[in-house]
Amino acid sequence: MPSLRGKAQTVLGPVEPEHLGYTLTHEHLAMDYSCSFSPPSPGQEPLSDGPIEMKNLFWIKQNPYSHKENLLLYQETDAVKEELLRFKAAGGGTIVENTTTGIGRDMNTLKKLAEETGVHIIAGAGFYVDSTHSSQTQAMTVEQLTGIIVDEILKGADGTDIKCGVVGEIGCSWPLTQSEHRVLQATAQAQSQLGCPIIIHPGRHSDAPFQLIRILQEAGADVSKTVMSHLDRTICDTKKLLEFAELGCYLEYDLFGTEFLHYQFHPDTDMPSDNDRITRIRILVDEGYEDRILMAHDVHTKHRLMKYGGHGYSHILKNIVPKMLIRGISQDKIDKILLANPKRWLTFK
């Protein structure tokens, strides 16, 4: 089998990293997030079952995980295709599709979207959070889990010959479960065998990213090829963020476009606004971490698509980049964040 060293691996095969272009490192194009359904507040049950309509859109935006149909992104392939074409027209080149086992990864659809739009799509290997692990997964050893992840990259995933090009998002809860711990160790082992990029979904606690990096390191992972996702909602304290940045992984702000009053998954956290995200990125740039920052939207529900009045996959390129420039983050730094850093991360070692 030819080595992947020096290449990035898309669903259409290996590519030269120079060809990736502007890259969103954490998105979903086809996914079923029903596993995260949050029952609505008493009295709001009828809102949960209806279709998405103008008159309930504000409620859905505030309660995205309580609306059943909103969680079925996989039903929107035509709308997603249209949006990928817009992303490309806005200068975009690559999307890393983070849907792993447990939330409806669909390799055939990803391949079709890549063929029909010309956008490079890189699929994720591995497993989402414990609540989606099958009883078979729960019973597997680290070696068995490693074998599955390695095969998804070298041979193909979900019974297809379409290959993944990153490991993740690897789902972790807070507190971390035993099954998630084994999957993390397998992720580290797969990475040390293949030199591949990995990406982690941390549990919702500011200590979680530190714990996860420690476990990965102890299991032999290369922290410099590791992305910690969702820092937006995970480490809100600047001192702690800078402490975490010292560990040397990529720091991902991937919830651009998500703005709401009440964060359903963790009401103690105030979800930052896009302006807050830009402020935090500016702090990291000023502290010298410009080579470690990544950005994305993590679109994973229908209401964030433009078809439903959402911001879509072009929001960063069209609206956030201009605002970053206004806030004193130079084009050179932005090109590091959206072009050079993803390229370095996605290149197999």
Ligand X SMILES: CC(=O)NCCS(=O)(=O)O
Binding residues for a divalent metal cation: 26, 28, 169, 201, 230, 298
Q: Compose the 229-258 pattern: x for residues touching ligand X by CB under 6 A, - for all others.
A: -x--x---------------------x---
Q: Which is nearer to ligand X, 4 or 167 (CB)?
A: 167
Q: Which is nearer to ligand X, 94 or 98 (CB)?
A: 98
Of 120, 277, 300, 302, the residue at the interface with ligand X (CB under 6 A) is 300
Binding site: what residues are annotated? Answer: 26, 28, 169, 201, 230, 298
Structure tokens at 115: 């063929």
Q: Are strands 198-201 and 226-228 parallel, antiparallel or unpaired?
A: parallel
Provide, rounded to whole angstroms, the least separation between the CB of residue 264 and ligand X.
8
Q: Which is nearer to ligand X, 51 or 267 (CB)?
A: 267
Q: Are 51 and 75 in contact (CB under 8 A)?
A: no
Structure tokens at 12: 């259409």
Element at 284 (helix H, strand E):
helix 274-286
Cis omega (within 30 of 0) for bond into 2? no
Provide, rounded to whole angstroms, the least separation between the CB of residue 102 and ligand X.
10
How far is Cα 249 from Cα 224, in angstroms, rounded to an integer?
Answer: 5
Provide, rounded to whole angstroms, the least separation between the CB of residue 213 and ligand X.
18
- Give ∠ CA 233-296-51 in degrees, rounded to 5: 80
Q: Is 303 an interacting residue with respect to ligand X (CB under 6 A)?
A: no
Count residues near ligand X (CB under 6 A).
Answer: 7
Of 89, 265, 328, 335, the residue at the interface with ligand X (CB under 6 A) is 265
Q: Is 260 an interacting residue with respect to ligand X (CB under 6 A)?
A: no
Q: Is 298 an interacting residue with respect to ligand X (CB under 6 A)?
A: yes
Structure tokens at 318: 């069209």
Provide, rounded to whole angstroms, the least separation between the CB of residue 127 and ligand X.
12
Q: Are 7 and 16 in contact (CB under 8 A)?
A: yes
In the 3-class helix/strand/coil scheme, how is 87-110 assigned residue by residue? Answer: HHHCCEEEEEECCCECCCCCHHHH
Q: Compose the 12-41 pattern: x for residues touching ligand X by CB under 6 A, - for all others.
A: ------------------------------
Q: Which is nearer to ligand X, 130 or 298 (CB)?
A: 298
How far is Cα 83 from Cα 247, in angstroms, rounded to an integer?
Answer: 36
Provide, rounded to whole angstroms, the least separation between the CB of residue 90 and ligand X.
23
How far is Cα 160 from Cα 163, in angstroms, rounded to an integer?
Answer: 8
Q: Which residues inside 187-226 make contact with ligand X, applying CB under 6 A?
A: 201
Q: Which residues inside 55-74 make contact with ligand X, applying CB under 6 A?
A: none
Which CA distances in Å does 136 have to 69, 145, 229, 286, 343? 28, 10, 27, 47, 35
Structure tokens at 247: 């560990």
How far is Cα 111 from Cα 133, in angstroms, rounded to an integer?
Answer: 25
Q: Which is nearer to ligand X, 166 or 194 (CB)?
A: 166
Provide, rounded to whole angstroms, the least separation between the CB of residue 104 and ligand X.
11
Q: Are 77 and 102 in contact (CB under 8 A)?
A: no
How far is Cα 90 from Cα 77, in angstroms, rounded to an integer?
Answer: 20
Q: Which is nearer to ligand X, 34 or 144 (CB)?
A: 34
Interface residues toward ligand X, by CB under 6 A: 201, 230, 233, 255, 265, 298, 300
